[in-house]
Structure 1
């Protein structure tokens, strides 16, 4: 959904661009926005549980478009459900279920067109679909990262730490999060609309001269977002007008309540919490390989800052606000809390028997930390570093934190169409000649040539050495049994923190090698990748 009505009122400060303008730049892509578009092409199959990978092919075609124009692409995918978004997700799920019933009813009545329309409204993006895309990205050596929660917050964080020059998405939330440069409405030819936060003051219609980013964010929330619905009769233009006049959402809400607008009693508290979600939501840091906040919490915690609604500050039982310094002396503003470690062996030296942890913290201090983390869970519950890394690399399902069931995901998929990493996991001992499978994926004339030579073994050597001075078949290299894909690097072995990069066992194209070198952070090294 994004921010209701935001993009149309920013039309005058957007500019048409082609992706070639970003040549050599690192960009992050909202993978779910592409998955949604791709799913519309096969909505019926997805809704009825029939295996298809057409939505994956759609995403790969967009990736190839960007790479052909010299962009260094990282695909970012949504992770688990953020607690603050639970109500919106439940509403969407109910709507999809209703449209699925309508689609089946139309299909039984023979109204195929109406059925297809309802199927498109009913289709949702599951973690299994995301996993299919992840495995395909590994196959072609494209970096990716699965956010612990919202991909929007994750992309904003990558932009803030310098890992992205621009963000490609269809979601207007990115501007509210504070992304400096966002590309919308990317078409199949590489054309799109760019909006930069720095250009907002020159917008026509709604004037943002003198608007701070905090005021812009408050306007977006007041107009209605995924975390909080708008008040009756309040859209983007009215929210802008009220904030331009009163400069604070709290003053605006008081004015609206005084003028008779029905405002829920807890609206101000929820509004303040949504502000914190946009500012401090938990994301994954590929450098530290652990969960951090989009922006660090204030040094003294959420309550230490100038808060418009003090009642919204989460507090522990003894009264301290959440987000204070950790009991071990560390800061909780940008990383996970320390967790209790294992017991030490040895009589009276056992730290657990003394009520003390191995890192020096007491049981009471650890309990305080756990309570504090629970209070901050509206920003996204904390994940242990190893779990966060497993989710980010696409190894663990974001909600259950368990490995994916590849056999279930690829049920009904022909073996030849499976990504090679999936083939190796599901079929570790090939039951058929892998050379035959590989050549079946080549252009038809190559397949015919192989069939002809298969019945003439005495001519194989001459064929492989080449004839009349011409290069031999398959670009001068004897076929080794791996699928042959021209200029398409394949990811094997270890993956970097951004996922799916080739290790030393592969020979990526020169362009991809440059991409991995330029992106640098969290990527597999030349000696076997990150651990």
Structure 2
């Protein structure tokens, strides 16, 4: 789910924290990719016709593999160095959100069957997308694919976006590629959206700068986390009737969720029960991640051509000529990437705001006190890499 309404709020109240970037501007950059989130997106859209997904000749779903292979090829061709981070065990605090998602999938399955009986093609496609679930098999196949492509894989001990954020905070990558805005709540210095969108859409990446988020909103790190919890996150229900703009106003005025709750009219606003905002706050500040000094060296190697042919062509019935040509493009691009990044090669990025245009005025009030940095994260489990640089 991410953080409800945060993208629009930043576009209106902190437009200077966002900038559009051309895809090729990330030449030479190491990018952490939230793998599980992107796999879900591939299963939803790649090769879909109605409720039919892309499959091999034997009927196995291959949408995730096609999306992962060709989008990663595009990144490698552009001289990027992606490292894919896979989800670990979900935090206990997320159990309720996961249960809600499971219920929504069950409801979607019911609606899907009704749409099929009614012959409503539009509803069939809509509800079939809502039934998509990333399985362990999808993840394992994508890990195998990426390793054959010579791309490093990291298995997070818990939330993938938290581990991506830690890689960025430790300076091991430039930024993280994800669509989930809670990466900013986990403190990633650079969040990059739309980086793995299909090339046919010719999208511009949207880069968010965490430091500028705090500066433009005039919040401390602790206050920003409290803002995100009030907006609505994966770890607790939100206070009904409080949207992103109202949440920002309240945090600016009262400094913290504790201050907001003390001043809130309980007759007007329904506070959820339970409301584990303190646990959610702690999870954002002290997530279960592997820190930089424990992370082995990230290694990018040449793709295993014959291994890819065996997996994608012989097992999954991909077209051999397309796979071989894609590998040739990767190898041709490796020479460019080895030259390193020249900052002066690219022009300045364009700063943009949301479609609302002008920055909205928000009430200004006393700021809260800056909180402590929190305890050290726990150790996690690593996969598919060598030793630290």
Secondary structure in 1 aligned to 2:207? Answer: strand
1:18 to 2:27 alignment: no
Report the CA distance shift for 1:77/1:486 in structure 2 as closer, same or farther (over 3 A): same
**1:272 corresponds to which of 275, 278, 295:** 278
Q: CA deviation at 1:235?
A: 1.3
How far apart, CA to CA, are the structure 2 residues paired with 1:166 and 1:483? 29
Matches within 5 A, 1:329-340: none
1:418 to 2:305 alignment: no
Provide, for residues 81-123 of structure 1, a one-character-per-residue CA deviation record: whole Å limited to 9, x for no partner: 2211000000001101111122123223322331111101111
How far apart, CA to CA, are the structure 1 residues paired with 2:238 and 2:272? 11
Counterpart residue number, 2:194: 185
Report the CA distance shift for 1:128/1:286 in structure 2 as closer, same or farther (over 3 A): farther
- Tell me how many residue pairs correspond in the alignment: 323
1:2 to 2:2 alignment: yes
Judge conservation of contact 1:28–1:76 (CA < 8 Å) in 2.
Answer: yes
How far apart, CA to CA, are the structure 1 residues paired with 2:100 and 2:114? 22
Secondary structure in 1 aligned to 2:328? Answer: coil
Judge conservation of contact 2:214–2:220 (CA < 8 Å) in 1.
Answer: no
TM-score when scaled to structure 2? Answer: 0.73
How far apart, CA to CA, are the structure 1 residues paired with 2:322 and 2:43? 28
Counterpart residue number, 2:264: 256
Counterpart residue number, 2:210: 197
Decide which structure has the larger Cα Rg and report it: 1
How far apart, CA to CA, are the structure 2 residues paired with 1:37 and 1:202? 32
How far apart, CA to CA, are the structure 1 residues paired with 2:248 and 2:263? 14
Matches within 5 A, 1:440-519: 441-442=320-321, 485-486=327-328
Secondary structure in 2 aligned to 1:418? Answer: helix
Structure 1 residues without counterparts, runs of 5 or longer: 291-414, 424-436, 445-481, 490-507, 516-520
Counterpart residue number, 1:242: 250
Matches within 5 A, 1:48-197: 50-186=59-195, 187=197, 188=199, 189=202, 191-197=204-210
Report the CA distance shift for 1:260/1:138 in structure 2 as closer, same or farther (over 3 A): same
Counterpart residue number, 1:35: 39
Matches within 5 A, 1:278-289: 278-285=284-291, 287-288=293-294
How far apart, CA to CA, are the structure 1 residues paired with 2:54 and 2:135? 11
**1:223 corresponds to which of 208, 227, 231:** 231
Judge conservation of contact 1:65–1:190 (CA < 8 Å) in 2.
Answer: no
Q: CA deviation at 1:167?
A: 0.9
Report the CA distance shift for 1:104/1:2 in structure 2 as closer, same or farther (over 3 A): same
How far apart, CA to CA, are the structure 2 residues paired with 1:441 and 1:58? 16
Secondary structure in 1 aligned to 2:82? Answer: strand
Structure 2 residues without counterparts, runs of 5 or longer: 297-307, 341-381
Report the CA distance shift for 1:7/1:123 in structure 2 as closer, same or farther (over 3 A): same
Secondary structure in 2 aligned to 1:194? Answer: strand
Secondary structure in 1 aligned to 2:191? Answer: strand
Report the CA distance shift for 1:91/1:36 in structure 2 as closer, same or farther (over 3 A): same
How far apart, CA to CA, are the structure 2 residues paired with 1:153 and 1:45? 33
Judge conservation of contact 2:235–2:280 (CA < 8 Å) in 1.
Answer: yes
Backbone CA RMSD of aligned residues:
3.6
Q: CA deviation at 1:524?
A: 5.4
Q: CA deviation at 1:274?
A: 0.6
Provide, for residues 214-273 of structure 1, a one-character-per-residue CA deviation record: whole Å limited to 9, x for no partner: 111101101110001210111111111111111121011111155653324643xx1111
Report the CA distance shift for 1:484/1:5 in structure 2 as closer, same or farther (over 3 A): closer
